[in-house]
Amino acid sequence: MSGYGSVRAVRSVIIDTLKAEGRNPDAYNIAGIIRDAFTPRSEGGYSAALDAEVWRAAVDKHRRPFGIGDMVRVVVTTKSGTTEHHYGKIYQFRKANGGIYRGRPVKPHSAYVELDHHTSGWLGPLSEVTPALDDFEIIRSMSQINSDAPPPDRYYKCRRCAWHSYKGARVMVVHKVSGQRVRLCEGCFNDDELARLGHDVMYYGRHGQQTITELTENPELITGPVSDSYYEKSDGEIYRGWADCFPWLVPAEAAALYAKWKENLSAAVTA
Ligand SMILES: [Zn+2]
Protein backbone atom coordinates (compact mmCIF):
# COMPACT_ATOMS: atom_id res chain seq x y z
CA MET A 1 0.00 0.00 0.00
CA SER A 2 1.29 3.41 -0.84
CA GLY A 3 2.01 6.05 1.72
CA TYR A 4 4.68 8.34 3.04
CA GLY A 5 7.72 6.76 4.62
CA SER A 6 8.58 9.61 6.94
CA VAL A 7 7.28 12.72 8.63
CA ARG A 8 9.50 14.65 6.26
CA ALA A 9 7.81 13.13 3.22
CA VAL A 10 4.34 13.83 4.54
CA ARG A 11 5.32 17.40 5.47
CA SER A 12 6.49 18.13 1.96
CA VAL A 13 3.26 16.72 0.50
CA ILE A 14 1.27 18.97 2.84
CA ILE A 15 3.32 22.03 1.93
CA ASP A 16 2.92 21.31 -1.80
CA THR A 17 -0.82 20.80 -1.41
CA LEU A 18 -1.23 24.02 0.58
CA LYS A 19 0.73 25.92 -2.08
CA ALA A 20 -1.33 24.36 -4.85
CA GLU A 21 -4.44 25.65 -3.08
CA GLY A 22 -2.97 29.14 -3.05
CA ARG A 23 -2.27 29.06 0.69
CA ASN A 24 0.83 30.21 2.44
CA PRO A 25 2.31 27.15 4.25
CA ASP A 26 3.83 29.46 6.89
CA ALA A 27 0.30 30.24 8.03
CA TYR A 28 -0.36 26.62 9.05
CA ASN A 29 0.58 24.31 11.87
CA ILE A 30 1.84 21.41 9.75
CA ALA A 31 2.25 19.02 12.71
CA GLY A 32 -1.41 19.59 13.56
CA ILE A 33 -2.47 18.82 9.99
CA ILE A 34 -0.43 15.59 10.04
CA ARG A 35 -2.09 14.60 13.33
CA ASP A 36 -5.62 15.22 12.08
CA ALA A 37 -5.52 14.27 8.41
CA PHE A 38 -3.05 11.38 8.19
CA THR A 39 -2.99 7.97 9.85
CA PRO A 40 0.29 6.48 11.10
CA ARG A 41 1.05 3.09 9.51
CA SER A 42 2.09 0.07 11.54
CA GLU A 43 5.22 -0.30 9.38
CA GLY A 44 6.15 3.34 9.98
CA GLY A 45 5.32 6.51 8.07
CA TYR A 46 1.81 7.62 7.20
CA SER A 47 -1.05 6.48 5.04
CA ALA A 48 -1.53 8.30 1.75
CA ALA A 49 -5.26 8.69 2.17
CA LEU A 50 -5.97 12.38 1.72
CA ASP A 51 -9.70 12.56 2.19
CA ALA A 52 -10.94 15.91 0.89
CA GLU A 53 -13.27 16.66 3.79
CA VAL A 54 -10.81 15.59 6.45
CA TRP A 55 -8.15 17.67 4.75
CA ARG A 56 -10.36 20.76 4.62
CA ALA A 57 -11.30 20.42 8.29
CA ALA A 58 -7.67 19.98 9.34
CA VAL A 59 -6.53 22.95 7.28
CA ASP A 60 -9.25 25.21 8.69
CA LYS A 61 -8.45 24.13 12.23
CA HIS A 62 -4.70 24.58 11.95
CA ARG A 63 -4.56 27.93 10.21
CA ARG A 64 -2.60 30.16 12.52
CA PRO A 65 -4.36 33.23 13.84
CA PHE A 66 -4.31 36.34 11.70
CA GLY A 67 -0.95 38.05 11.33
CA ILE A 68 0.20 41.53 10.44
CA GLY A 69 0.29 41.89 6.65
CA ASP A 70 -2.38 39.24 5.99
CA MET A 71 -4.62 40.09 3.05
CA VAL A 72 -8.18 40.08 4.31
CA ARG A 73 -11.71 41.08 3.31
CA VAL A 74 -13.93 43.35 5.37
CA VAL A 75 -17.46 44.63 4.85
CA VAL A 76 -17.87 48.39 4.58
CA THR A 77 -21.21 50.17 4.77
CA THR A 78 -21.37 53.13 2.40
CA LYS A 79 -23.08 56.46 3.08
CA SER A 80 -26.08 55.34 1.02
CA GLY A 81 -26.45 52.28 3.25
CA THR A 82 -25.25 49.59 0.83
CA THR A 83 -22.49 47.19 1.79
CA GLU A 84 -19.27 46.62 -0.12
CA HIS A 85 -16.54 44.03 0.19
CA HIS A 86 -13.12 45.65 0.51
CA TYR A 87 -9.73 44.00 0.61
CA GLY A 88 -6.64 45.13 2.45
CA LYS A 89 -3.78 44.07 4.67
CA ILE A 90 -3.88 43.93 8.45
CA TYR A 91 -1.79 46.84 9.61
CA GLN A 92 -2.19 46.61 13.37
CA PHE A 93 -4.00 44.70 16.10
CA ARG A 94 -6.15 46.63 18.57
CA LYS A 95 -7.86 46.02 21.87
CA ALA A 96 -11.65 45.88 22.15
CA ASN A 97 -11.63 49.56 23.11
CA GLY A 98 -9.52 50.46 20.06
CA GLY A 99 -6.34 50.81 22.12
CA ILE A 100 -2.99 49.58 20.92
CA TYR A 101 -1.31 46.52 22.48
CA ARG A 102 2.08 46.83 24.11
CA GLY A 103 4.16 43.97 22.81
CA ARG A 104 2.81 41.05 20.88
CA PRO A 105 -0.88 40.35 21.55
CA VAL A 106 -1.69 36.70 22.29
CA LYS A 107 -5.35 36.79 21.31
CA PRO A 108 -5.94 40.13 19.62
CA HIS A 109 -9.52 41.38 19.59
CA SER A 110 -9.62 43.80 16.67
CA ALA A 111 -7.63 44.75 13.63
CA TYR A 112 -6.94 47.90 11.72
CA VAL A 113 -7.00 47.09 8.00
CA GLU A 114 -5.54 49.43 5.41
CA LEU A 115 -7.88 49.94 2.45
CA ASP A 116 -6.84 51.37 -0.92
CA HIS A 117 -10.26 52.08 -2.34
CA HIS A 118 -11.90 53.68 0.63
CA THR A 119 -11.55 57.04 2.32
CA SER A 120 -10.27 55.49 5.52
CA GLY A 121 -8.97 52.24 6.90
CA TRP A 122 -11.21 49.75 8.64
CA LEU A 123 -11.20 49.04 12.35
CA GLY A 124 -13.26 46.19 13.75
CA PRO A 125 -13.26 42.88 15.57
CA LEU A 126 -11.31 39.99 14.06
CA SER A 127 -14.54 37.98 14.07
CA GLU A 128 -15.66 40.23 11.19
CA VAL A 129 -12.44 39.76 9.23
CA THR A 130 -12.29 37.09 6.51
CA PRO A 131 -9.05 35.79 4.98
CA ALA A 132 -9.05 37.00 1.36
CA LEU A 133 -8.32 33.47 0.14
CA ASP A 134 -11.69 32.27 1.41
CA ASP A 135 -13.39 34.34 -1.31
CA PHE A 136 -11.45 32.79 -4.17
CA GLU A 137 -10.84 29.46 -5.79
CA ILE A 138 -7.28 28.87 -6.96
CA ILE A 139 -7.11 26.55 -9.96
CA ARG A 140 -3.92 25.04 -11.33
CA SER A 141 -5.33 22.44 -13.69
CA MET A 142 -4.13 23.41 -17.18
CA SER A 143 -7.20 21.94 -18.84
CA GLN A 144 -9.49 24.00 -16.60
CA ILE A 145 -7.46 27.17 -17.05
CA ASN A 146 -7.58 26.84 -20.83
CA SER A 147 -10.96 25.17 -21.26
CA ASP A 148 -12.45 28.09 -23.20
CA ALA A 149 -9.22 29.55 -24.61
CA PRO A 150 -9.67 31.09 -28.05
CA PRO A 151 -7.96 29.81 -31.18
CA PRO A 152 -5.40 29.63 -32.69
CA ASP A 153 -3.24 28.98 -29.58
CA ARG A 154 -6.01 27.70 -27.33
CA TYR A 155 -4.14 28.73 -24.23
CA TYR A 156 -4.21 31.84 -22.10
CA LYS A 157 -1.25 34.07 -21.47
CA CYS A 158 -0.58 35.67 -18.10
CA ARG A 159 -2.78 38.74 -17.79
CA ARG A 160 -0.03 40.84 -16.19
CA CYS A 161 3.04 40.09 -18.26
CA ALA A 162 1.34 39.22 -21.56
CA TRP A 163 2.43 42.52 -23.13
CA HIS A 164 6.13 41.81 -22.83
CA SER A 165 6.33 38.03 -22.75
CA TYR A 166 4.50 34.95 -23.92
CA LYS A 167 4.28 33.33 -20.52
CA GLY A 168 1.34 31.00 -20.38
CA ALA A 169 -1.10 31.24 -17.49
CA ARG A 170 -0.44 28.65 -14.80
CA VAL A 171 -2.88 29.80 -12.13
CA MET A 172 -6.50 30.84 -12.45
CA VAL A 173 -8.01 32.88 -9.64
CA VAL A 174 -11.81 32.71 -9.54
CA HIS A 175 -13.90 35.01 -7.36
CA LYS A 176 -16.40 32.52 -5.96
CA VAL A 177 -19.51 34.72 -5.72
CA SER A 178 -19.25 36.41 -9.13
CA GLY A 179 -17.30 33.86 -11.15
CA GLN A 180 -14.99 36.68 -12.30
CA ARG A 181 -11.53 35.35 -12.98
CA VAL A 182 -7.95 36.24 -13.81
CA ARG A 183 -5.29 33.99 -15.30
CA LEU A 184 -1.66 34.51 -14.28
CA CYS A 185 1.80 33.00 -14.40
CA GLU A 186 3.27 31.78 -11.10
CA GLY A 187 5.49 34.86 -10.90
CA CYS A 188 2.56 37.27 -11.04
CA PHE A 189 0.27 35.35 -8.68
CA ASN A 190 0.13 36.97 -5.24
CA ASP A 191 -2.18 38.43 -2.60
CA ASP A 192 -2.42 41.75 -4.38
CA GLU A 193 -4.00 40.02 -7.37
CA LEU A 194 -6.73 38.63 -5.14
CA ALA A 195 -7.47 42.14 -3.88
CA ARG A 196 -7.40 43.52 -7.41
CA LEU A 197 -9.94 41.01 -8.69
CA GLY A 198 -12.06 41.45 -5.56
CA HIS A 199 -12.09 45.20 -6.09
CA ASP A 200 -13.06 44.81 -9.76
CA VAL A 201 -16.09 42.89 -8.53
CA MET A 202 -16.77 45.55 -5.88
CA TYR A 203 -16.72 48.30 -8.54
CA TYR A 204 -19.15 46.37 -10.77
CA GLY A 205 -21.49 46.40 -7.81
CA ARG A 206 -20.91 50.07 -7.08
CA HIS A 207 -21.50 51.12 -10.69
CA GLY A 208 -24.54 48.91 -10.93
CA GLN A 209 -26.11 50.31 -7.79
CA GLN A 210 -28.74 52.38 -9.57
CA THR A 211 -29.79 49.46 -11.75
CA ILE A 212 -29.90 47.21 -8.68
CA THR A 213 -32.17 49.71 -6.93
CA GLU A 214 -34.45 50.00 -9.96
CA LEU A 215 -34.77 46.23 -10.30
CA THR A 216 -35.37 45.84 -6.58
CA GLU A 217 -38.21 48.35 -6.65
CA ASN A 218 -39.66 47.22 -9.99
CA PRO A 219 -38.45 43.68 -10.77
CA GLU A 220 -40.81 43.41 -13.75
CA LEU A 221 -38.68 45.95 -15.65
CA ILE A 222 -36.43 43.03 -16.59
CA THR A 223 -39.17 41.42 -18.69
CA GLY A 224 -39.97 44.65 -20.55
CA PRO A 225 -40.88 44.37 -24.24
CA VAL A 226 -38.36 43.99 -27.03
CA SER A 227 -37.63 47.14 -29.04
CA ASP A 228 -39.30 47.43 -32.43
CA SER A 229 -36.44 49.55 -33.70
CA TYR A 230 -33.32 47.85 -35.02
CA TYR A 231 -31.18 50.77 -33.89
CA GLU A 232 -32.40 51.39 -30.41
CA LYS A 233 -32.64 49.00 -27.49
CA SER A 234 -35.68 48.99 -25.28
CA ASP A 235 -35.34 49.41 -21.50
CA GLY A 236 -36.12 45.73 -21.08
CA GLU A 237 -33.29 44.77 -23.43
CA ILE A 238 -30.89 47.04 -21.61
CA TYR A 239 -31.80 45.50 -18.23
CA ARG A 240 -31.45 42.01 -19.67
CA GLY A 241 -28.09 42.82 -21.24
CA TRP A 242 -26.89 44.13 -17.90
CA ALA A 243 -28.18 41.01 -16.10
CA ASP A 244 -26.28 38.79 -18.55
CA CYS A 245 -23.02 40.62 -17.77
CA PHE A 246 -23.47 40.77 -14.00
CA PRO A 247 -25.74 37.86 -13.07
CA TRP A 248 -24.61 37.85 -9.43
CA LEU A 249 -25.84 41.43 -8.98
CA VAL A 250 -29.41 40.88 -10.16
CA PRO A 251 -31.85 41.17 -7.22
CA ALA A 252 -33.55 37.85 -6.40
CA GLU A 253 -37.06 38.71 -7.54
CA ALA A 254 -35.90 40.16 -10.87
CA ALA A 255 -33.59 37.16 -11.37
CA ALA A 256 -36.53 34.78 -10.91
CA LEU A 257 -38.68 36.76 -13.37
CA TYR A 258 -35.84 36.80 -15.90
CA ALA A 259 -35.28 33.05 -15.59
CA LYS A 260 -38.98 32.49 -16.23
CA TRP A 261 -38.93 34.92 -19.17
CA LYS A 262 -36.07 32.94 -20.74
CA GLU A 263 -37.93 29.68 -20.18
CA ASN A 264 -41.03 31.04 -21.93
CA LEU A 265 -38.89 32.31 -24.76
CA SER A 266 -37.23 28.96 -25.43
CA ALA A 267 -40.60 27.21 -25.09
CA ALA A 268 -41.99 29.59 -27.72
CA VAL A 269 -39.04 28.88 -30.01
CA THR A 270 -39.31 25.10 -29.77
CA ALA A 271 -43.12 25.10 -30.04
ZN1 LIG B 1 2.95 36.95 -15.36
What would the pLDDT profile of 182-206 be if each residue is shown by its tens digit?
999 999 999 999 999 999 999 999 9
In this predicted structure, what is the pLDDT of residue 237? Answer: 95
CA of 252 from ligand 1 middle (Å) equals 38
Average pLDDT score over the chain: 90
pLDDT in tens, 5-30: 888 889 999 999 888 877 778 788 99
Whether pLDDT at 1 is above 60: no
Ligand 1 center from residue 152 Cα (angstroms)? 21
pLDDT of residue 118: 79
Distance 167 CA to ligand 1 centre (A): 6
Q: How far is the CA of 233 from the centre of ligand 1 (A)?
A: 39
- What are φ and ψ of residue 113, in 5° steps? -115, 130
The C-alpha angle 60, 66, 72, rounded to 5 degrees, equals: 90
Q: What is the pLDDT of residues 164-179, one digit of tens each?
A: 777 899 999 999 999 9
Distance 211 CA to ligand 1 centre (A): 35
pLDDT exceeds cutoff 90 at 3: no
CA of 140 to the centre of ligand 1 (A): 14
- What's the confidence (pLDDT) of residue 30? 93
Beta-strand relationship, 71-77 and 171-175: unpaired
Q: How confident is the model at residue 213 (pLDDT cuts 50, 70, 90)?
A: very high
Cα 189 to ligand 1 centre (Å): 7
Question: 249 C-alpha vs ligand 1 centroid, how far in Å?
Answer: 30
For residue 61, the CA-to-ligand 1 centroid distance in Å is 32
Q: Summarize the confidence of residues 43-70 as an average pLDDT.
A: 84
Question: The whole model's pTM is what?
Answer: 0.77
